[in-house]
Amino acid sequence: MTKVARNAFLFATALATGWGCSTENQPVDIGDSYTGEHLQDYSGEWEGYAEAYDFADGSDKVRLELDASGNGTLEIGNSPALPVATDPDVGYPPGYPLISGFDPYTNLFPGFAYAFDPATVESARIRFTLNPWQVARGWCEMQTPYDIHSKDTAGTGGGGTGGAGGAPAWLLGAIPMGGSAGEGYVPPGYLAGPDSGGFGLSRYRCVPPEHNGVMPTAGDPGKIMMCWNSLCWCDARSCAYYDPPSTVFATRVKLDAALDNSGASLVGTLKIGQGAQIAVTVRLKRVPH
């Protein structure tokens, strides 16, 4: 073989080998694929805002973290993280505004990462709910329960109508209409709680009542407000944060959102407030890594 022929052969061999690598071994980047039909399509970190709505700290910021199993956290506002509860005798969080009732809880506190129930996907929409009262978990677990309906306070039985041996009507809170055991019925000896119906709430509170079941006046007003209105749920042994029952009165925050075709944008409705009556449009973008 002449030198020219040999070089031509080697060149042709090398060229053919290069083509083979590019067509058979080179991976093809087709980009991420999102359909919105699977939980893993929503997995990641998301940041954005609530449209035309400001949270308690004046910010409209919304942050969502979600894993491929549908678990994660939701944060609102742009405040530092809430301090850990350390004093059981002072209301929590610090600076809790008494005149606002339960609004700060149902509208969510800035600076707290709320864990939500496992999300579900249906018709290319992700949905989840969360318990807004969980912010008081650590504080409630430090509390001591007291029986507000013992023989030394309001007596036993009575169905909330007052009279001998019965708890006065004002002590039982607002009892919705609907029959003797209908939706929202408050059994004798039980107080209404933060859901303005309080079905099945315990008669125990994390502050001791004064004589005849009267709300106490001594102590921190924030603690009295939280305990007397059942922000903590107590039994005879201990207290925990309030867990809404499965009734129409139950306050749970809700998110219902859809993914765009690129998988980079998530838009939906966040429902907050007492009974989730406030609907806020949220627009989130996927945080790149």
Q: Distance from first CA to last CA of the chain, Å, rounded?
A: 57
- Look at the alpha carbons of 6, 8, 9, 11 in this order and tell me if their dihedral is positive or negative: positive
Residue 111, pLDDT score: 95
Specify whether the CB–CB gap between 32 and 264 falls below 8 A: no
* CA neighbor of 251 nearest in space, from 134, 162, 163, 157: 134
Q: pLDDT-based confidence at 175, cuts 50/70/90?
A: very low
In percent, the amount of the chain with pLDDT more than 70 equals 66
Q: pLDDT-based confidence at 154, cuts 50/70/90?
A: very low
- 3-class DSSP state of 32: coil
Specify whether the CB–CB gap between 225 and 235 falls below 8 A: no
CB neighbours of residue 2 within 10 Å: 7
The CATH number of the structural domain formed by 39-131+252-286 is 2.40.128
pTM of the model: 0.76
How much is the average pLDDT of 243-270? 88
How much is the average pLDDT of 280-287? 98
How much is the average pLDDT of 59-85? 97
Give the integer Cα–Cα distance in Å for 98 and 209.
19
For residue 40, with 0-12 CB atoms within 10 Å meaning exposed, 13-18 middle and 19 or more buried, which class applies?
A: middle
Q: Whole-number mean pLDDT of the chain?
A: 78
Sorted by where each begins, the domain ranges of the chain are 39-131+252-286, 136-250
